[in-house]
C-alpha cells in the first residue's frame, strides 16, 4: 500500500508539472502511465513503467521505486527524549558526577570495545553529538567516552569496534579506567535501549536496536 500510495502521489505531482509546462499533454500522459501500471496488476510495474516513462522522457519516474528505501533510511531509534538530560555530555558527567548521577541520557558514538561479563555486556563508546534522528554525527568533535552496561549477552562480533551506536539509559556511576597510559573517568550508563547503526554508510541498511532487550535489523 505504501508503494501504491507513493506511486499515485508522485504521478499526480509529476503530471501537474507537465501540465504547467505543456498544457494539454498531462491528461494523456497520466492515462498512459496508469494503463502501464494497471496492465501488470502492480507486479513487475517498475520495469514495465520504467520503459513507458523512458519512452516519454520521464526519468524522474524512477524515484517512485525508491520510496520504500527512502522510508527505511529515515528510520532510527526514536528513543523518548522526555525526562532526559539532552544537553549533558559524558565529559561533563565525568567532571561533575554528583550533579548528574541517576540522570537519564541519550548518547551515541563509535564503539571502542565490547566485553562479555558474567551477566552483562560492557561496551566502551567514544561519544559524538546526535542529530535529529538520534544518530551520532561523526564529523563533529567527540564528547568524551562512556561505558554501556547491557544486561545479558550481546554478540561482540556484532557490537564491534568502530560500529556506530545510540543508547538510552541511566547514569548509575563513574569508574576509573585507562586510555593509553592516562587515567580516565568513565560515566557508566545502565542501558534500557540500544540501537546499533549499519556498517554501510555509517547508519542506513542493517540496523540493530535494543529496547528492554535486543532487536536486530539485518
Cell of 170: 541511566
Q: Cell triple for residue 78?
A: 526514536
Residue 170 has pLDDT above 60, yes or no: yes
29-48 confidence digits (pLDDT tens): 445 544 444 444 555 544 45
Tell me which of 22 and 197 has the higher pLDDT. Answer: 197
Taking residues 151-160, what's their average pLDDT?
Answer: 97
Nearest CA among 96, 175, 86, 159 for reference residue 123: 159
C-alpha–C-alpha distance, residues 214 and 218, integer Å: 13
Report angle CA 130, 79, 194 to the nearest 5 degrees. Answer: 85
Is 9 a residue whose pLDDT tops 60?
no
Task: Find the mean pLDDT for residues 145-150.
Answer: 98
- Which of 115-119, 177-181, 198-202 is the least confident region? 198-202
The pLDDT score that the predictor gives to residue 76 is 83
**27 backbone dihedrals φ, ψ, rounded to 5°:** -65, -50
- For residue 123, pLDDT beyond 80: yes
Higher pLDDT, 207 or 18: 207
Residues 191-209: pLDDT tens digits? 999 999 998 655 444 456 6
Q: What structural domains and CATH numbers belong to the chain?
A: 2-73 (no CATH), 90-216 (2.40.50.140)
Q: Which residue is listed with cell 532510527?
A: 76
Amino acid at each position: 500500500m505504501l508503494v501504491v500510495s507513493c506511486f499515485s502521489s508522485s504521478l499526480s505531482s509529476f503530471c501537474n508539472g507537465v501540465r504547467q509546462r505543456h498544457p494539454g499533454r498531462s491528461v494523456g500522459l497520466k492515462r498512459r502511465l496508469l494503463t502501464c501500471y494497471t496492465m501488470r496488476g502492480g507486479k513487475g510495474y517498475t520495469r514495465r513503467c520504467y520503459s513507458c516513462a523512458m519512452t516519454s522522457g520521464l526519468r524522474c519516474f524512477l524515484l517512485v521505486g525508491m520510496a520504500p528505501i527512502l522510508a527505511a533510511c529515515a528510520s532510527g531509534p526514536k528513543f523518548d527524549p522526555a525526562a532526559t538530560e539532552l544537553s549533558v555530555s559524558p565529559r561533563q558527567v565525568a567532571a561533575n558526577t554528583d550533579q548528574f548521577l541517576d540522570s537519564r541520557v541519550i548518547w551515541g558514538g563509535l564503539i571502542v570495545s565490547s566485553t562479555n561479563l558474567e551477566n552483562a555486556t560492557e561496551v566502551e563508546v567514544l561519544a559524538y553529538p546526535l542529530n535529529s534522528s538520534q544518530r551520532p554525527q561523526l564529523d563533529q568533535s567527540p564528547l568524551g567516552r562512556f561505558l554501556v552496561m547491557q544486561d545479558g549477552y550481546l554478540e561482540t562480533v556484532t557490537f564491534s569496534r568502530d560500529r556506530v551506536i545510540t543508547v538510552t539509559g541511566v547514569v548509575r556511576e563513574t569508574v576509573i579506567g585507562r586510555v593509553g597510559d592516562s587515567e580516565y573517568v568513565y560515566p557508566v550508563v545502565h542501558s534500557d535501549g540500544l540501537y546499533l547503526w549499519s556498517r554501510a554508510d555509517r547508519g542506513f541498511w542493517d540496523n540493530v536496536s535494543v529496547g528492554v532487550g535486543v532487536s536486530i535489523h539485518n
